[in-house]
Amino acid sequence: MDVQKKRIAIDMDEVMADTVGKLLRCYNRDYDDCITMADLRGKKLRHVAKCGLEVYRYFDDPAFLRDLDVMPDSQEVIRALQDRYEVFVASAAMEVPASFAAKYEWLREHFPFIPPSHIVFCGDKSIINADYLIDDHTYQFARFRGQGILFTAAHNVEETGYPRVDNWREVAELFLK
């Protein structure tokens, strides 16, 4: 009998892609500041940056998203997950419509083993039909039908209530042991 694989949906920004790392580098350079990841613990960048909400204007430039670093170990762990799970990428791209194409190209370059049919751009992730959602935002778990797995990011270190993974090695521990 063909047993249906369980399905894992994976967020992109700050889970597969080091979005905030690049944002911080660009911000520090352009605003002559020296905010570190440690400064962001439990906080949003907009509350720490000199320019406030303006700091997110970087996302309006598709080129910004095109060359983000890949999160350590994410490629090999996701490749291994595919043997035992059905893996989808679920990115909340609707917040920044200009980002669609750049996000898609980035995924195709760094994760060519994830077929386009398994990439989803959405807003509210309650629309995702999966057993697990690995995400750095707990608000996406509220109406999600499966189990949310919180991927540690500076802004969420104080949040509780969901299983937490600090990195991709811990994702492997959780799903592949």
| By CB under 8 A, residue 97 contacts its own copies | yes
Give the tokens for residue 113. 């083993």
Task: Lay out the site mask for its own copies across 121-160 (x = CB under 8 A, - = otherwise).
Answer: xxxx-xxxxx--------------x---------------
H or E segment to which residue 164 belongs: strand 164-165
Which residue in the block uniquely carries the two structure tokens 């002559």? 32
Rounded CA separation 128/144 (Å): 7
| By CB under 8 A, residue 61 contacts its own copies | no
Q: Calculate the CA dihedral of residues 111, 114, 117, 121 and round it to 10 degrees.
A: -50
| By CB under 8 A, residue 109 contacts its own copies | no
Nearer to its own copies, 70 or 120 (CB): 120
Q: For residue 11, indicate whether it is catalytic.
A: yes
Q: Applying CB under 8 A, which part among 48-56, 72-80, 100-108, 151-159 lies near its own copies?
A: 100-108
Nearer to its own copies, 88 or 175 (CB): 88
Catalytic site residue from 13, 18, 135, 136: 13
Give the tokens for residue 93. 């791209």
Q: Please select the residue that binds its own copies; options are 42, 52, 72, 115, rule is CB under 8 A.
A: 115
Angle, nearest 10°, between helix axes 74-84 and 168-176? 20
Q: For residue 124, indicate whether it is catalytic.
A: no
> How many CA atoms does the CB half-sphere of 119 hold within 13 Å?
17
| By CB under 8 A, residue 112 contacts its own copies | no
What's the min distance (Å) between Cβ of 122 and its own copies?
4
For 143-160, give the DSSP string.
T-SSEEEEEP-GGGTT--
Rounded CA separation 9/114 (Å): 12
Residues that bind its own copies (CB under 8 A): 7, 9, 88, 90, 93-95, 97-98, 100-101, 104-105, 115-124, 126-130, 145
Active site residues: 11, 13
